[in-house]
Structure formats: structure tokens, C-alpha cells
Amino acid sequence: MSDYGVTTRDQDFSQWYLDVIQKAELADYSPVRGCMVIRPNGYAIWEKVQAALDRMIKETGHRNAYFPLFIPESFLKKEAEHVEGFAPECAVVTHGGGAALEEPLMVRPTSETIMYHMYAKWIKSYRDLPLLLNQWANVVRWEMRTRLFLRTTEFLWQEGHTAHATAEEAEEETVKMLRVYESFAQDHMAVPVYIGKKTDAEKFKGAVRTYCIEAMMQDGKALQSGTSHNLGQNFSRPFEVRYQDQNQQWQYCWQTSWGVSTRLLGALIMAHSDDNGLVIPPRLAPTEVVVVPIWRSDEQKSAVMAYVNEIRGLLDGRFRLHIDDRDNFKPGWKYSEWELKGLPVRLEVGPKDLEKRGAMVVRRDNRQKESISIDGLVDGIRRVLDQMQADLFQKAFDFRTSRTRFLDSYEEFQSHMQADPGFVWAHWCGSAECEATVSEQTKATIRIVPFDESDGLETPGAPAPQAGKCILCGKNSPRHVLWAKSY
């Protein structure tokens, strides 16, 4: 247990995670099993995530819309793999208004089917393409084992759904959105991610190909943080999403879907936080700077508060700012509270700072202190925030490097996954049987198959393709794939 009442990461990582969420007041359990209440501190971070991503989604040409929560049961059954994948997780509404419904309604687990039913109505000609829509919504998947933010029965997300005239355009879109997620994770969340392909076993049910971003948490486990699917014509055929081409011929559309969810908050917590609580990367911090005034007497208080107001005037509008002038708490108590809640920068302002016309600037992540004069305060805080954002990424990147290995022996692979899980680059022959056996025996799964030349893009940080022998069966393997235990 740390001084802050948080279970340490070394003691029990999963209890640490829950302690951080509870102490930072991010979320709570609901009376409905498996569902989560997102508290204001957690929701404010989600709103920052939404704002940044929404801008990126719109900058790439998409528009937002909203589709119904309920989906007729028959819709889900139109795509064979899709229904097989999702039906067991669906909540089904059988009654409404006191009477049994003629057709049961599924609470959306994802919205491909209801959206494409509408797309079929709206798309008539090649002139209507591409259709590029996104929706911010909640979805429900009946989960047996839940964990706050990472896996909950109801969660919040965005789902983008597009329709295109050609297979090439759909592939381009799938990659484009994967890259959007990659840069959001790295530039905003300060979480390094590997991009790559999912194996058939791990791909979205109904997709031709699934691409994803995969991050490492501080316990060495992987967290799939976003996915982008090339759906080919798997949905456009059963839903008759068609267009007339320039020669008045009817053609089926090529489609994509892509999403990220409140799971990202789980990634943010597990990638950066420490035994003193939450650490929020500055770019996603609802409040960047908290000012804590320090006084011992009423006389000091009025002088310090006048000075704090001067500082407020300087910082207001430039930073997301909070002045903690509560009378009934001591400064030390406030420091620990704001550390637990993860605010990136704390300004301590007392009589000595007033005398020197400065302020003590304290960084949350490494607790570095620096006295900065009031003239240099705006630039100084900006510099500290930028440095913290960059350092968090670098620290997570270095951690990932330190917990990534190349392994050729299955025995070593097994003991490694048991003792000290991390990312492992190992050879795989490509067979679903080998993949299934390894995951059964070690609980590790293939997180990504790196992109190669035939995909027209690469996986930054992945080893160059190199032939070898499958870690399980010893047959030929064209390249290493990334294995890890995952959330």
C-alpha cells in the first residue's frame, strides 16, 4: 500500500488498477451487474478523448449521425459470421408497452446491420459514394467477466461506417482510420502502439480483414485499443447496399467499419499511472494546472490570494486551470488529492513565492519541482506540460522495449509467458491449429501480424521479415508475429 492508500503495482496489479479508479473517482460499479457508472472525473477525460478524435474523424471527411439502439433480430442473422459472433452476447428485448413484440429486438452490440439497412435505401448511384459516417453511441455486449473500462456490458464508443465504389478505396479507408487511431494513441494518449493485422481467429466477425492498434500495459499485457475493419462485400451483399455505376450497372459497395471505446481510458490508466494514483497525459487532462495557495495567517491569506488572482489573470484562457482555495483543507492534503487525481501540473504559491514573485511548479509524473518567476510562468508551464507529454510517451516506449523479447524455443516461450509476460516476437507457420494450441497452453494470443510489402504499408518497430520455424510445430514461417497475454 502506498502513502496514498493505493495498492502498489508490485503487490497486485489488478487491485492497483481498481484502487486508482476509485481514488481518482473515475468510475464506480452500478447496481446492474457488469455495467459501469462513469463519474465526472472519468467522463471529463472521455470528453477530451471524444473532442480530439471527433476532430480527427471530421478532418478525414466523415460526418456524424445517429442510429437506433434497437436492431430487429432478423437483421443480425443476415450475415452468418456476424450473427455467430455476436448473438451469444446480445441483450434481447421481447416485450414493450406491456405486450410481447412480434419480432424481438436486439440491443445493438455494434451497428453494421441497422446502418447498412439504411445505406441500402440512401445509396443509388456512384454519385452517392463514398458515404462516410460515424456515430458516437453506447453498445451492449453481455459480458460474463467484467472489469471497469476494459470490459463492461455497456460501453461508450464511436463506430465509423463507410461505403465505397471500389475495393481499393475501402482498403485505403481501413488503413487511413487505423493511422488516425495510431496517431491519436501516440500523440494524445502518449501510448506507443503497434499497428498490424489480426489473424482470422482474432478478427471481427464479418470482416474480411481486421487491423488494430495494440498497446502494452505496465504489467506487460497487451490491450487492443482500436480496430479498423475491411468488410469487403460481406455486408453489402445481404443488405443490398448497391449503386449504379457510370454504365448503369448495379454494383455492390465495398465497406469498412472502425471503432474505439471507453476502453481507451483503461489503456490510459494502465500505461501511465503509478502508486500515487492517476497520471493523465497533459493533452487529455480536463484540468492541466491546479494552483494551491499556502498561508498560515489571515494576513498571509489575503496577500497570497491577491497574488494568486494575479496569476489566475495570467494563466486563464491559456491553460485549463483550477484554483484550489478551499479553507478547510491543508496544502499537503490538497497536494495528495491532486496527485491521486492525476493533474499534470501543480502550482504551489505561498508567502515566499510572493516575496520572490514566482511560483513552485510541480510535475505530477516525476514530481520534479522548479521555481519559476511570474514573468516566465506562462512559457514555463507550457514547457513543463510539453515535456511531460513527451516523457510519458518515451517512458512507455522504453518500458515496452524492455519487456519485448525474441523467442525461438517453445519451452522458453511457455515459461516466459508464465513468469514475466510481455511482448514476444516469435515465428508462426500461419496455421489456426498452432495458434489455438499455443493460446490454450500459454494464454498468450497473436496480437498482430505485422504489415508487409504486399499490404503496401509497414508496422513501425516490427522486425524485418525473416524466415524461420514455427515456435510450436517447426514448419516454415515467413516472419515473426507479436504474441502477448492480453486484456
Q: Which residue ranges make up the site for Zn ion (CB under 5 A)? A: 429, 434, 470, 472-473
Query: Which CB atom, from 434 or from 482, has the smaller least distance to Zn ion?
Result: 434
408-422 residues labelled b (16+ CB within 10 A) or e (exposed): eebeebbebbeeebb
Who's near 20: CB < 8 A, 6+ residues apart? 6, 26, 269, 273, 277, 278
Instruction: Tell me how far, at minimum, the Cβ of 477 lies from Zn ion, in Å.
Output: 7
Task: Tell me how crowded residue 303 is: count the other CB atoms within 10 A of its CB.
Answer: 15
Backbone dihedral region for residue 34 (phi beyond 0: left; psi -120 to 50: alpha; all else: beta)? left
Cβ-contact 343, 287 below 8 angstroms: yes
Instruction: Tell me how far, at minimum, the Cβ of 485 lies from Zn ion, in Å.
Output: 20
Bond into 351 cis (ω within 30): no
Query: Which CB atom, from 376 or from 474, has the smaller least distance to Zn ion?
Result: 474
Cell of 341: 487525481
3-state secondary structure of 105: strand
Only one residue has cell 497533459, namely: 282
Instruction: Tell me how far, at minimum, the Cβ of 476 lies from Zn ion, in Å.
Output: 9
Instruction: Tell me how far, at minimum, the Cβ of 427 lies from Zn ion, in Å.
Output: 8
Instruction: Tell me how far, at minimum, the Cβ of 475 lies from Zn ion, in Å.
Output: 5
Chain mean position to CA 401: 20
Instruction: Tell me how far, at minimum, the Cβ of 428 lies from Zn ion, in Å.
Output: 6
- H or E element, residue 485: none
Chain mean position to CA 128: 32
Query: Which CB atom, from 91 or from 473, has the smaller least distance to Zn ion?
Result: 473
**In 3D, which of 129, 110, 159 has the Cα closest to residue 252?**
129
d(CA 406, CA 411): 13
Instruction: Tell me how far, at minimum, the Cβ of 424 lies from Zn ion, in Å.
Output: 15
Cell of 88: 451469444
Instruction: Tell me how far, at minimum, the Cβ of 446 lies from Zn ion, in Å.
Output: 12
**In 3D, which of 278, 193, 236, 213 has the Cα closest to residue 18?**
278
3-state secondary structure of 398: helix
3-state secondary structure of 317: coil
3-state secondary structure of 62: coil
Instruction: Tell me how far, at minimum, the Cβ of 408 lies from Zn ion, in Å.
Output: 13
Instruction: Tell me how far, at minimum, the Cβ of 447 lies from Zn ion, in Å.
Output: 17
Q: Are strands 289-293 and 242-244 parallel, antiparallel or unpaired?
A: unpaired
Instruction: Tell me how far, at minimum, the Cβ of 105 lies from Zn ion, in Å.
Output: 44
- DSSP single-letter state for residue 143: -
Instruction: Tell me how far, at minimum, the Cβ of 435 lies from Zn ion, in Å.
Output: 8
d(CA 136, CA 157): 6
Cβ-contact 162, 111 below 8 angstroms: no
Chain mean position to CA 388: 20
Query: Which CB atom, from 35 or from 473, has the smaller least distance to Zn ion?
Result: 473
| Strand locations in 263-367 (E) | 289-293, 321-323, 345-349, 358-363
Instruction: Tell me how far, at minimum, the Cβ of 221 lies from Zn ion, in Å.
Output: 24
| Strand locations in 184-341 (E) | 193-197, 209-216, 222-232, 242-244, 250-252, 254-261, 289-293, 321-323
Q: Are strands 70-72 and 99-107 parallel, antiparallel or unpaired?
A: antiparallel
Angle 207-212-218 (CA atoms, 0-180°, nearest 5)? 145
